[in-house]
Amino acid sequence: MPSAELAPGDGAATAPITARSPLELFWRRLRTDKVALTALMFIGLLVLIAVLAPLIVKLVGAPAPDVQSSAALDPTFGSPTGPSSEHLFGVDKLGQDVFSRVVYGTRVSLQVAILSTGSAVIAGVLVGMFAGYYGGWVDTLLSRALDVLLAFPILLLGIGLASACSLGNGCAGGLIQPGLTVVVVVIAIATFPYIARIIRGQVLSLREKEFVEAARSLGASDRRIIFRQILPNLVAPIIVYSTLVLPQNILFEAALSFLGVGVQAPTASWGQMIADATEIFDTAWWFMVFPGVALVLTVLAFNLVGDGLQDALNPKRGR
Amino acid sequence: MTQRNLTFARRPLFAAYAAAAALALGACGSDSSDNGDSQADGGATSAGFDAAVPAGDQQKGGALKLLSSESFAHLDPGAAYFQLDYMVMFATHRSLYYFKPDDPKTAVPDLAEAAPQIAADNKTVTVKLKKGIKYGTNDTSSPVNGQEVKAADVKYAFERGFKPSVANGYLATYFKSIVGADKAKGGDVAGITTPDDYTIEFKLAEPFGATLAKALVMPITMPVPKSYASKFDAKQPNEYDSDPDKQAFSGPYMIKSSSPGKSLTLVRNPNWDEATDERPAYLDTIEWTLGTDPNVAGRQIMSGTGIVNGDTPAASTIKQFATAAKDRISFTPLGNRFVNINTQKKPFSDLNVRKAFAAALDRKAMQLTRGGTLTGDIATHLLPPTLAGHEEAGGADGTGADYLANPSGDMAVAQSYLKKAGFADGKYDGPAIRMLGDNSSPAKESAAVVRRALESLGMKVNLTSVEHSAFYTKFCNVVDQLKKIDVCANYGWLPDFADPYAMLNANFNGEAIVPVNNSNASLFDNEKVNADMNAAAQITDEAERAKAWGAIDRALVEQVAAVPWFWDKTPNVRSKDVHGVIAQWNAAWDLSYMSLEK
């Protein structure tokens, strides 16, 4: 029998043994999770709606979100009218179109969610890494500071800060302006200590690992170790935690707006719409139901995606 | 007056009942102006137990319940300055003069024997008192129980109003012309004298007798016996106010018990003699529950018996009654609303910019924010239909100013005025406008419409939304703040008595501007208007007086001292077995005239 050596190329063709990157593995696992995928697609749709809000409103033929059309109000009672061909979701107390306000409200929700989660993650990761890596007095100082922040009644802190900054010219010398900025800052402050605590814990164990020892013995600087050796290993927890915090932050924004200290009218926000609707819910259900459903679906979608990501990144995690 | 206007605005037109058959609600899609017209007198005239003084078919006895979410501010005749307080004060005490429920324009004697005598020089006002009116107290062993009301008690009632422990809110407005009143701190006021036990005389430093005589309907004229009350008045807080069941009552009812924020019970005053009083006082007891959710109260009134509203019904309650129980809701006209604009600060110091804003404001949309045509008419000038001078200033049609001609606003007119003001393309391009607004519904929505009007002129708006009471006490009644504010969006005014002076003087007389508790939120100070007002306050002839104040109203519209947009009507609702009677002057139930069906 002629012993024929296999040509290198042949083997690869018949038995494709390629190394899969972690990203690829993650994607393969996620792909099988139909629920998470559906939720992800819904979020994609939301992003589209947010970006194309003016176009969608125009296509449907609805007025802009801040147009007060008194013709749509009951002339005798001044009460809002319900869904009709002219106003798909009815109008609110000022005759503003609920459909276009719900659509534009998507912008606020996503904007706040992304900005506040983003800044909370950056702040949390930085603080957590420094505390965990350096230990000693740096750790003590930062951890105690975090403890103090965690001990704050967050909603009260939010209401206090937001209402203090809602009057006149904002706070911190005009740096924090009423409206969106206040909301983002409040939510970021409320959220980042949790992230910092988790990251610190991870770093505490990572810094004892051999590859860190190795890097240190080769003379790598602290900065290089933190950002080049440790940070990449934190990607999974960061992603998982961000996706869990995101829907919470959407709710937080809604709560602040509900309490009247969030995004200010005439900018449309779901929480603010729900707050306005509570007084007249028994006569104008549409005013609360549509923004309410939008809020529930959005938060649910982010939660489901978060779960899916967690499973995909960490398949061994027990349920 | 601060307290009174506060209130007013705090309770969007509170309300009431009855007679709304006249509401023209029935005809769906009836023209809104029709609606408005029929209501202008509809509140006053209606079938059955309406605001007309009841006929003899009403019966004595029974307990009436009132439900309100709001509480009383002061239950002391010297300090009371609030719609709800008035309801209780006028049932438990007797003022020199009062308005019968169906006629808010003609004061009739109560404690007084006859109309006040105004001296020819307009500087002395003399009032004779009835004899045989006695006090009643809960503690029957009290020396004041059964004591007769004397002129000295009315004098003391005025004097104690100046004490910090009473701190009356309107003495300085209507009674400052009394000799010695400007320096009064609670002691003797030289200008108030009692020649005998049944005569009280007011001597004035200036000829304002006619206006003072009209103000003798205020609760400050309710008698307070000095020997009994001075020990309470010496303390701070004043127990005469905080423990109202300790008062000496001259009215048909007494406050039996009061639990602040929770409840109040009135019972008959055994020492009240019906021979001395025209009020029928049918009810035996009146129980007032405070802190009730407005929606819950509405449902209880709708389905229960013997219940009426104590303060503004919820919007859903109004809608429910007006559609399903029209004969149990009424709308009583009283007061007005206007947007104040700072007439001393750019850009609104320019008359043309003020006119442009007036033209841009969609008053129809403003009306809708307050509850549509039912709860009031779109204003075309400042004096509401309930006051003399209204017709003289143009009636419902207005003064003919082009910037108030279209109730939905007129952008073409607005732009033409902006061009006249020097904004070449009809768009404002100056610095941002600072606007103060109320943050609770429905004032919040009204403010949103005002904001929209400003933005439609090209103005960038910085809106500060504050709580209702802060809107007045921290901002729009404080001159130092007003200097930094361009627009006060949610101003409302309830006249203290049926005279145009009570509506216009405090709000638009430049001489009435004071550092705090300032009611002139436009900082409007026009020498000619000031002089006209001071002259008109001295006119005693009713027709001349109406003409003079009508002309002042026109001048204020011409100067756009403020943008009038609403003549309020206050809704009131009742259970089906209540013979409701509304005191039109207070736009609230008159407890001394109501009764229950058996």
In this predicted model, what pLDDT tens digit does every residue of A167-182 receive, in sequence order?
Answer: 656 666 666 666 777 7
* B chain contacts of residue A66, beta-carbon cutoff 8 Å: 452
Contacts of B428 (CB under 8 A, 6+ apart): B347, B353, B418, B457, B458, B459
- Cα distances from B145 to residues A168, B241, B249, in angstroms, run 55, 18, 9
| pLDDT, position A157 | 73
In the A/B pair of chains, how many CB contacts fall below 8 A? 75
Residue B567's DSSP bridge partners are: B336, B377
Query: Of B35, B370, B466, which is closest to A78 when you measure between CB atoms?
Result: B370
Residue B462's DSSP bridge partners are: B434
Under DSSP, the state recorded for A72 is G
Q: Which of B584, B443, B468, B387 is nearest to B2 (CA)?
A: B468
- Cα distances from A53 to residues A105, B229, B444, B493, in angstroms, run 9, 68, 26, 42
Residue B167: exposure state from Cβ atoms within 10 A (0-12, 13-18, ≥19) = middle
| pLDDT, position B308 | 95
Contacts of B278 (CB under 8 A, 6+ apart): B100, B108
Contact between chains at A78 and B372 (C-beta distance less than 8 A): yes
Distance (Å, rounded) from C-alpha B555 to C-alpha B532? 10
Alpha helices (H) in B162-306, listed in sequence order: 171-174, 209-214, 226-233, 239-242, 294-303
* B chain contacts of residue A260, beta-carbon cutoff 8 Å: 439, 465
* B chain contacts of residue A73, beta-carbon cutoff 8 Å: 368, 372
Contact between chains at A76 and B322 (C-beta distance less than 8 A): yes
B52-65 residues labelled b (16+ CB within 10 A) or e (exposed): bebeeebeeebebb
Most A-contacting residue of B368, B434, B438, B566 (CB-CB within 10 A), to test interface: B368
* B chain contacts of residue A279, beta-carbon cutoff 8 Å: 315, 441
Residue B588's DSSP bridge partners are: B583
B463 interfaces chain A, CB cutoff of 8 Å: yes
Total domains, chain B: 1
pLDDT along chain B (598 residues), means of 10: 37 28 31 33 35 60 92 90 91 96 90 94 94 94 93 96 87 89 89 96 93 93 94 89 92 94 95 93 95 90 94 86 88 91 94 96 92 90 92 92 94 94 89 89 90 94 83 87 93 87 91 83 94 91 94 96 94 91 92 89
* Alpha-carbon torsion, ordered B436, B438, B441, B442, to 10 deg: -60
Residue A125 corresponds to which amino acid? V
| pLDDT, position A176 | 64
* A chain contacts of residue B319, beta-carbon cutoff 8 Å: 77, 79, 283
Q: Within its chain, how far is the Cα of B392 from the centroid?
A: 22
Contact between chains at A75 and B370 (C-beta distance less than 8 A): no
Contact B230, B152 (CB under 8 A): no
Of A71-85, A203-217, B284-298, B374-388, minimum mean pLDDT range: A71-85
Average pLDDT, chain A: 85
CATH code (residue B298): 3.40.190.10
* A chain contacts of residue B370, beta-carbon cutoff 8 Å: 78
B406 interfaces chain A, CB cutoff of 8 Å: no
**Strand-pair category, B582-583 with B487-493:** unpaired
Q: To 5 degrees, how large is the angle CA A252–CA A305–CA A45?
A: 85
Name the phi and psi angles at B341, rounded to 5: -125, 140
For residue B34, tell me if it sits in a domain.
yes
Under DSSP, the state recorded for B574 is B
| pLDDT, position A317 | 55
Q: Residue A164 has which token pair?
A: 């203090």
Q: Which long-range contacts (CB under 8 A, 24 or more apart) does A225-233 make?
A: A225/A133, A226/A129, A226/A130, A226/A133, A230/A129, A230/A133, A230/A203, A230/A206, A231/A125, A231/A129, A233/A202, A233/A206
Distance (Å, rounded) from C-alpha B348 to C-alpha B337? 19
Query: Of A70, A78, A265, which is closest to B371 when you measure between CB atoms?
Result: A78
**Strand-pair category, B487-493 with B329-341:** antiparallel
Contacts of B68 (CB under 8 A, 6+ apart): B84, B288, B289, B290, B291, B292, B297, B309, B310, B311
Segment (H or E) for B505: helix B500-508
Contact B112, B61 (CB under 8 A): no
| pLDDT, position A55 | 93
B199 interfaces chain A, CB cutoff of 8 Å: no
Query: Of A68, A280, A283, which is closest to B449 when you measure between CB atoms?
Result: A68
The three-state (H, E, C) secondary structure of B343-404, written as one string: CCCCCCCCHHHHHHHHHHCCHHHHHHHCCHHHHEEECCCCCCCCCCCCCCCCHHHCCCCHHH
pLDDT of residue A297 exceeding 70 = yes
Superfamily the domain A50-57+102-313 falls into: MetI-like (1.10.3720.10)
Distance (Å, rounded) from C-alpha B568 to C-alpha B150? 39
| pLDDT, position B449 | 94
Most B-contacting residue of A68, A73, A74, A76 (CB-CB within 10 A), to test interface: A76
B301: helix, strand or coil: helix
Contacts of B416 (CB under 8 A, 6+ apart): B426
Contacts of A149 (CB under 8 A, 6+ apart): A189, A193
Distance (Å, rounded) from C-alpha A4 to C-alpha A15? 18
- Cα distances from A235 to residues A224, B87, B176, in angstroms, run 16, 69, 76
Contact between chains at A77 and B464 (C-beta distance less than 8 A): no
**Strand-pair category, B307-309 with B63-67:** parallel
* A chain contacts of residue B365, beta-carbon cutoff 8 Å: 68, 70, 94-95
- Which residues, numbered 266 to 305 in chain B, qualify as contacts with chain A under a Cβ-Cβ cut-off of 8 Å? 295
Q: To 5 degrees, how large is the angle CA B20–CA B26–CA B32?
A: 85
Contact between chains at A282 and B316 (C-beta distance less than 8 A): yes
Residue with tokens 């430049």: B510
| Interface of chain A toward chain B, CB-CB under 8 angstroms | 66, 68, 70, 73-79, 93-95, 166-168, 260, 264-266, 276, 279-280, 282-283
Contact B417, B352 (CB under 8 A): yes
* A chain contacts of residue B452, beta-carbon cutoff 8 Å: 66, 68, 266
Alpha helices (H) in B78-236, listed in sequence order: 83-92, 151-161, 171-174, 209-214, 226-233
| pLDDT, position B62 | 92
Contacts of B558 (CB under 8 A, 6+ apart): B399, B401
Contact B265, B285 (CB under 8 A): yes
Query: Of A95, A276, A280, which is closest to B315 when you measure between CB atoms?
Result: A280
| pLDDT, position B43 | 37
CA distance B458 to chain A (A): 15
Alpha helices (H) in chain A, listed in sequence order: 8-14, 22-31, 34-51, 53-60, 98-134, 136-151, 154-166, 180-206, 210-217, 222-224, 235-258, 270-278, 285-313
pLDDT of residue A318 exceeding 60 = no
| pLDDT, position A156 | 81
* B chain contacts of residue A278, beta-carbon cutoff 8 Å: none
Q: Which long-range contacts (CB under 8 A, 24 or more apart) does A314-319 make?
A: A314/A236, A314/A240, A315/A29
Distance (Å, rounded) from C-alpha A94 to C-alpha B367? 11
CA distance A118 to chain B (A): 29
For residue B48, tell me if it sits in a domain.
yes
- Which residues, numbered 1 to 30 in chain B, qualify as contacts with chain A under a Cβ-Cβ cut-off of 8 Å? 25
* B chain contacts of residue A168, beta-carbon cutoff 8 Å: 464
Q: Which of B585, B480, B500, B487 is nearest to B543 (CA)?
A: B500
- Structural domain including B327 reads 2-75+241-332+572-596
How would residue A255 be classed by pLDDT, with cut points 50, 70 and 90?
confident
Contact B537, B505 (CB under 8 A): yes
Contact B210, B118 (CB under 8 A): yes
B63 interfaces chain A, CB cutoff of 8 Å: no
Distance (Å, rounded) from C-alpha A131 to C-alpha A139? 4
Q: Quote the crossing angle between the two packed helices A235-258 and A98-134, to the nearest 10°.
A: 130
pLDDT of residue A227 exceeding 80 = yes
Q: Which long-range contacts (CB under 8 A, 24 or more apart) does B29-34 make?
A: B32/A75, B32/A76, B32/B373
Q: Which of B396, B398, B446, B566 is nearest to B33 (CA)?
A: B396
Distance (Å, rounded) from C-alpha A257 to C-alpha B174? 44
Q: Residue B405 has which token pair?
A: 């001609």
Where do the domains of chain A lie?
50-57+102-313
| pLDDT, position A276 | 86
CA distance B294 to chain A (A): 10
Neighbours of A40 (CB within 10 A): 18
Query: Of B35, B364, B464, which is closest to A70 when you measure between CB atoms?
Result: B364
pLDDT digits (tens, 9 = 90+) for B268-323: 999 999 999 999 999 999 999 998 888 899 999 999 999 999 988 888 888 889 88
| pLDDT, position A175 | 66
